[in-house]
């Protein structure tokens, strides 16, 4: 990626990236791309987020599920760490708490594969600046 030389440059790039993100979510792989974000701040890692992250990346690949596993910062739910956010294509993201590898397995098999909700969902309870 070249340097950004002006505000217009930046805006173009943002449009591209927006598209990319949206593509990622929708048209690239219409039914199959799942996005998983693992909360990996210090507290998340201390409570095992790293293992969960590794497990999810490996297992989703092994089980042939087209998914994008990324790490992200603190989601705010320290009491329920490790937390992961799963977005199935075309659906609202859902946050799961207290995820260990066993729970991760259940989430893959039941939620990601079959769309069944499983125990441990944390209701999101904040507004973002986009809502205002």
Partner 1 sequence: MHLMVCGGTGCRASASDTIEQKLKNKLEEKNLENDIQVVTTGCFGFCEKGPIIKVLPDNTFYTQVSPDDVDEIIEEHIIKGRQLTRLLYKDPQKDETIADAKDMGFYKKQLRIALRNCGFINPENIEEYIARDGYEALGKVLTEMQPMDVIDAVKTSGIRGRGGGGFPTGLKWEFAYNNQSDQKYVVCNADEGDPGAFMDRSILEGDPHSVIEAMSICGYSMGSDTGIVYIRAEYPLAINRLKTAINQAREFGLLGEDIMGSGFNFDIQLRYGAGAFVCGEETALIHSMEGSRGEPTIKPPYPAASGYLDKPTNVNNVETFANIPVIINKGADWFAKIGNKNSTGTKVFALAGKINNVGLIEVPMGTTLREVIFEIGGGIKDNKKFKAVQTGGPSGGCLTEEHLDTPIDFDNLLAAGSMMGSGGMIVMDEEDCMVSVAKFFLDFTVEESCGKCAPCRVGNKRLYELLTKITDGKGTREDLDILRNQSNVIKDTALCGLGQSSPSPVLSTLNNFYEEYLAHVEEERCPAGQCKNLMKYIIDEENCVGCTACARVCPVGAITGEKKKVHEIDPNLCIKCGACMDKCKFNAIFIK
Contacts with partner 1, residue ranges (CB under 8 A) = 1, 3-7, 9-11, 13-14, 17-18, 20-21, 37, 39-43, 45, 70-80, 85, 97-98, 116-123, 125-129, 132
Query: How many Cβ atoms from other residues are within 10 Å of residue 68's Cβ?
Result: 15
CB nearer partner 1, residue 1 or residue 31:
1
The CA-CA-CA angle for residues 57, 120, 103, to 5°, reads 35
For residue 47, the tally of other CB atoms under 10 A from its CB is: 19
- Least Cβ distance, residue 35 to partner 1 (angstroms): 11
Task: Residue 37: name the closest of 29, 27, 49 by CA.
Answer: 49
The token pair at 34 is 């799942």
- Shortest separation between residue 40's beta carbon and partner 1, angstroms: 8
Give whichever of 65 and 118 is closer to partner 1, judged by the CB atom: 118
Q: Which is nearer to partner 1, 36 or 55 (CB)?
A: 36
What's 110's DSSP letter?
A: I
């Amino acid at each position: 990626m070249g340097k950004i030389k002006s505000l217009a440059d930046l805006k173009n790039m943002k449009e591209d990236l927006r598209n990319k993100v949206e593509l990622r979510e929708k048209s690239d792989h219409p039914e199959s791309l799942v996005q998983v974000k693992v909360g990996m701040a210090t507290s998340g890692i201390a409570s095992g987020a790293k293992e969960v992250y590794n497990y999810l990346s490996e297992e989703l690949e092994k089980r042939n599920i087209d998914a994008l596993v990324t790490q992200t910062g603190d989601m705010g739910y320290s009491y329920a760490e490790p937390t992961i956010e799963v977005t199935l294509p075309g659906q609202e993201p859902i946050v799961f708490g207290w995820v260990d590898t066993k729970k991760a397995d259940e989430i893959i098999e039941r939620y990601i594969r079959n769309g069944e909700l499983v125990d441990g969902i944390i209701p999101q309870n904040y507004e973002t600046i986009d809502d205002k």
